[in-house]
A and B are shown apart, each in its own frame.
Chain A
Amino acid sequence: MNLDDELKSALRRHEPPPDFTARVLARVSAGPARTAPLAGLSSTLTRKSTRWVAAIAATLLLAAGALEYRQYEGERAKSQVLLAMRITASKLNKAQKKVQMLSHRSIS
Chain B
Amino acid sequence: MRLAGYLVALGLLAAPAPAQELKWNYDKLAAKASDTVDVSLSGSLLRLATKFLSDDDKDEAKVKKLVGGLKGIYVKNFEFKKAGDYTPADLESFRAPLRGGGWERIVGVHSTEEGETVEVYINNAAKGIGGLAIIATEPKEVTLVNIVGPIDLDSLSELGGHFGIPEVEVEKKK
Contact = CB atoms under 8 A, between A and B. Distances in A.
A and B in contact, CB less than 8 Å: yes
B47 to A, nearest CB: 9
A98 B36 CA distance: 26
B46 A77 contact: yes
Contacts of B45: 73, 77
Interface size class of A (residues with CB under 8 A): 20 to 34
Q: Is the interface of B mostly helix, strand, loop or mixed?
A: mixed
B143 A78 contact: no
B26 to A, nearest CB: 14
Interface stretch (B5-13, B17-25, B87-95, B162-170): B162-170
Interface stretch (A1-9, A47-55, A80-88): A80-88
Given A21-B37, A78-B49, A91 B136 contact: yes
Contacts of A70: 48
A91 B163 CA distance: 14
A76 to B, nearest CB: 8
Contacts, number: 113
Contact of B107 (A84, A86, A95): A95
B165 to A, nearest CB: 5
B52 A88 contact: no
Nearest to A30: B52
B109 A95 contact: yes
Interface in A41-97: 70, 73-75, 77-78, 80-97
For the complex of A and B, the 7 pairs showing the least CB-CB separation, nearest first, are A77-B49, A98-B109, A95-B118, A78-B52, A74-B52, A89-B159, A84-B75
26 contacts: A21-B37, A70-B48, A74-B49, A74-B52, A77-B45, A78-B49, A78-B53, A81-B50, A81-B53, A81-B67, A82-B60, A83-B75, A87-B77, A88-B132, A88-B134, A89-B165, A91-B118, A91-B134, A93-B157, A95-B107, A95-B118, A95-B134, A95-B136, A96-B168, A98-B118, A100-B168
Interface of B: 36-39, 41, 45-46, 48-53, 60, 63, 66-67, 73, 75, 77, 107, 109, 111, 116, 118, 120, 132, 134, 136, 143, 145, 147, 153, 156-157, 159-160, 163-168, 170
